[in-house]
Amino acid sequence: MKDIRPLMPVNPEGLDKIAQELLNETPVNDLVQAGANQLKNPRDYMILETVDSKDNKIGLYVAKNKDFFNKKWYEAHEALAKESYQMLTIRQGIDLIKLLKSKKVYDGLKAKLKDAEIAQLLNEIIEVRPPWRAEWLDGRFIEKNNEWYLLQEHKYDNSKSGKLEDRITAKNSIKVNPIIKNFKFNLNDTDKYGLPTKEGTELNYWYPTNGSVARFGAGSDGASLDCDWDPSDSDSGLGVRRAKLIK
């Protein structure tokens, strides 16, 4: 297992605004209420203010807990899609950790979570302890002619035939410049796609390889953002988190 370390810092910018909107009767508040009606158990979800692959501001319902364990990356996408959910992108995953660190977390019914529950949810992602835990993120890397592309917002296309990996297609392919070096970085030193921009001291980053995918992982050695994971891997400690766009 790789040497991984925990991440801790947080920039809660933007969280006060959404918190206030959730406490008042506003259009955003109405949007959240309407979206919550689409969830089977709204209290099992958190409200996350984040961005999509084109850097547009969006709101997501994000499951408090992971599911679909022991599935490969493509299988996790398929399982989510069949229930009308999506996978968090790298940036959205980092924004989720920042949200939990801010302690300004609201569930799908706009009720503020207690600090003890927030700490438990955060620790599941980054706490340094056994057993090993991990979760898939929606990011696949392709190298072509010495240029790197990040594929995001994958969808399951059941109209296609053939192998499962051929039926999981990316909505966006974005040219990126990942640092091709393993190092530690600070959570706030990332670009708009969640990729590290310089060295720091907090979280281990493992650089991508052609065809690799991303995930968070944590265990007795620390916590990490892995961008070099094989999409065909699976493990009983590796799951995925349901997410749904607030419309």
Instruction: Note the helical H segments in the chain.
Output: 15-23, 27-36, 73-82, 90-102, 115-126, 164-167
Residue 46 bridge partners (DSSP): 62, 107
Of residues 93, 11, 84, the one with CA closest to residue 50:
93
Residue 73, Cβ neighbours under 10 Å: how many? 28
- Classify residue 168 by burial, with Cβ atoms within 10 Å: 0-12, 13-18, 19+: buried
**To 10 degrees, the CA torsion angle through 52, 124, 155, 181?**
70
Task: Return the pLDDT at 10.
Answer: 42
Of residues 235, 247, 225, the one with CA closest to residue 91:
225
Task: Return the pLDDT at 25.
Answer: 39
**How large is the angle between the packed helices 27-36 and 15-23, nearest 10 degrees?**
80
Tens place of pLDDT for every residue, the chain, 247 residues? 444 444 344 444 554 554 454 444 344 444 455 556 678 899 999 999 999 999 999 999 999 999 999 999 999 999 999 999 999 999 999 999 999 999 999 999 999 999 999 999 999 999 999 999 999 999 999 999 999 999 999 999 888 888 999 999 999 999 999 999 999 999 999 999 999 999 998 889 999 999 999 999 999 988 999 999 999 999 999 999 999 999 8
pTM, two decimals, is 0.85
- Backbone phi and psi for residue 145, each to the nearest 5 degrees, phi listed first: 55, 45
